[in-house]
Amino acid sequence: MVDAPIIYHMCTRAEWQAAQVAGVYEGSSQDAADGFIHFSAADQVVASAAKHRAGQDGLVLLSVDAGALGEALKWEESRGGALFPHLYGPLPVDAVARADDLSLAPDGRHVFPADIDLDAVAV
């Protein structure tokens, strides 16, 4: 694995605003049901958005320093045998390098920030 890659999580704007007040993000209801916070590597996040968040408006893309998460972050096999980052515990707000609103294109796909390298492979 590349040293301290940036990993990504999508949440609602309201969830992110609540996390900023609390100082930690506890994850979505789906994360709670699964027992960890779902993340994607750069080369996985567009497909994850299409699969799990298609057509959803009002989302925020969190860019997170994986190195700041310590041993609570596990890379585990998931979709198609690929390794995905899963955080077993809350996400400290100060580990979030940036938060960008994700708008929807007319075709319902999310528009990702142009200055984020979504081709980088973390694992």
Q: Is 40 left (phi over 0), alpha (psi -120 to 50) or beta?
A: beta
Q: Which helix (H) or strand (E) holds 22?
A: helix 13-22
Output the pLDDT for position 14.
Answer: 95
Chain segment 4-35, per-residue pLDDT in tens: 689 999 999 999 999 999 999 999 888 999 99
Low-confidence ranges of the chain (pLDDT < 50): 1-2, 123
Cβ atoms of residues 66 and 85 within 8 Å = yes
The pTM score is 0.90
Domains of the chain are 6-107 (3.20.170.20)
